[in-house]
Each structure stands twice: as C-alpha cells, then as structure tokens.
Amino acid sequence: MTVYDNPLFSLLGQEEKEEVFPDAEESIRSYWKGDVVFHVGDDASAIGFVISGFANIEFVDYLGFRHILGSVGAGDIFAESYVLTGNELTVSVVSSTESKIALIPWKEVMERAGDEVKGKILSALTQILAHKNRLLSSRIFITSEKSIRDKVLAFLSYQSLINSSLSFSIPFDREELSSFLGVDRSALSRELGKMRNEGLLEYRKNHFTLKADGNVFSKSE
C-alpha cells in the first residue's frame, strides 16, 4: 500500500494524485507500539493515513483512566474532522502496533488542486464521513448492551460481518478491548473463558472464531 492508495484520492487518476501531492513519500512516518501520533490539544493540519499496522483513538480522563474510542488500520484515515473544522484535537492517536502512517497536509493538497480535482476529493471525503458515521452508530449499539456477554457478542458479530468470515483478528488486545467495551478486564477475560467453555467461540490472543451453531448470537437473559 502506498500513500496514493488513501481513500481521499480514490476518485483521482495517478497523474492527479502526483500533482496534488508530489512529496507523498516524505509524508510517511514510522511508529513503534505506544508511540503517539497526535496528542490531545494538537492543532490539526494534517490528515493521517495508515499504510500498515494499527493505531487507537484514545482519551485519558482527569483521573488518568484510558478510554479507547476506536481503532484505525491499514487503508483508514483519521483526524479529518478536526482538520476540516480547524479545532484542536480532543483525542490522542496512539500506534498500537509497529506502523507506518502518512501525514497528508490538507491545506497544501487543496491549494494545488484545480476545481475538478477538488470536487473529486470532497466527494470522496463525503463518502468517508458517511462510512464513519455508520461505524459510530455500530459502536453505540455495541456499548449500549447491558451485559458483558452481550457487548462481546455484538462486537464479535460486527467484526465477523465486516470481515465476511466467522474467523478473524480484532485490532485490540484484552486491555484495549475492555476499554473499548467499557468493562473490567478481568471480568471480560472470565466471560470469554465461559463462552469458550460453552462452545460459542474459540480464540487465541486477538484471533477469534465464532461457532456457527446458532447459539453464538443468543443474548444473555
């Protein structure tokens, strides 16, 4: 994957991509797990594009507790809403694996673009924002479930859907998943163990396989 594969440029031809962003390769940064890409309070002037690896969208409350709001992986962009509004970031973006991320200077790209190319980029951006709105709706649905089991079932069912498979890897470790779901890590591990013992699923680290016997989608009472 290259910088030019980012979804903002999905409607552009290769020559148009190179014209609006000739220094694409220089925009790529390498990060280790735990490296901060953007901090809370940063001025957003660049849109991030994940070339490889994963990064978490995080918020740390005043007591120091970390809350994971989402994850971005290869092919995803982030911080676009802050760049468009000119607001400071109210979240941090932290690399959760070794990763390569391109920082795309929005203002410079749009200044180089002619009217037709600008229209194509904005059209692509509209599609991206609509997709992210659907992702936000799914997260609200998942985290609004009452029990830990129901949250887990909703999350894994959604991951199965977007991966088009009953066997898939998720972008979170246990601590990150517990933060995303808003549950205690130990309680989450116990519930996953119970679900495995009941034959509902199998897992190893962050790779899960749902058992297609109809019971995996049964909610707890």
pLDDT at 65: 81
Q: Is-above-0.75 flag for pTM?
A: yes
- Residue 116's CB is within 10 A of a number of other CB atoms, namely 9
Per-residue pLDDT reduced to its tens digit, 92-145: 999 999 999 999 999 999 999 999 999 999 999 999 999 888 888 888 888 889
For every residue of 148-205, DSSP letters joined together read HHHHHHHHHHHHHHHHTSSEEE-S--HHHHHHHHTS-HHHHHHHHHHHHHTTSEEEET
pLDDT at 192: 95
63-66's contacts with Cβ under 8 Å and 24+ in sequence apart are: 66/179
Per-residue pLDDT reduced to its tens digit, 181-210: 989 999 999 999 999 999 999 999 899 999
> Residue range 25-42: average pLDDT?
95
For the segment(s) 141-210, the CATH number from 3.40.50.300, 1.10.10.10, 1.20.1440.230, 3.40.1440.10 is 1.10.10.10
Q: What does the alpha-carbon distance between residue 220 and residue 137 come to, in Å, rounded to a whole number?
A: 22
Mean pLDDT of the chain, nearest integer: 90
Q: Is residue 161 pLDDT above 90, yes or no? A: no
Q: Which class in CATH covers the domain with range 3-128?
A: mainly beta
pLDDT at 125: 94
Residues 6+ apart with CB under 8 A from 14: 4
Per-residue pLDDT band for 213 (boundaries 50, 70, 90) equals low
Q: Is residue 218 pLDDT above 70, yes or no? A: no
**Greatest mean pLDDT among 35-39, 161-165, 169-173:** 35-39
Per cent of the chain over pLDDT 70 is 95
Q: What does the alpha-carbon distance between residue 221 and residue 218 come to, in Å, rounded to a whole number?
A: 9
Q: Is residue 88 pLDDT above 80, yes or no? A: yes
Domain ranges for the chain, please list them.
3-128, 141-210
pLDDT at 143: 86
- Residue 119's CB is within 10 A of a number of other CB atoms, namely 12
Q: Is residue 40 pLDDT above 80, yes or no? A: yes
Which residue carries 């109809």 as its tokens? 214
Q: Is residue 66 pLDDT above 50, yes or no? A: yes
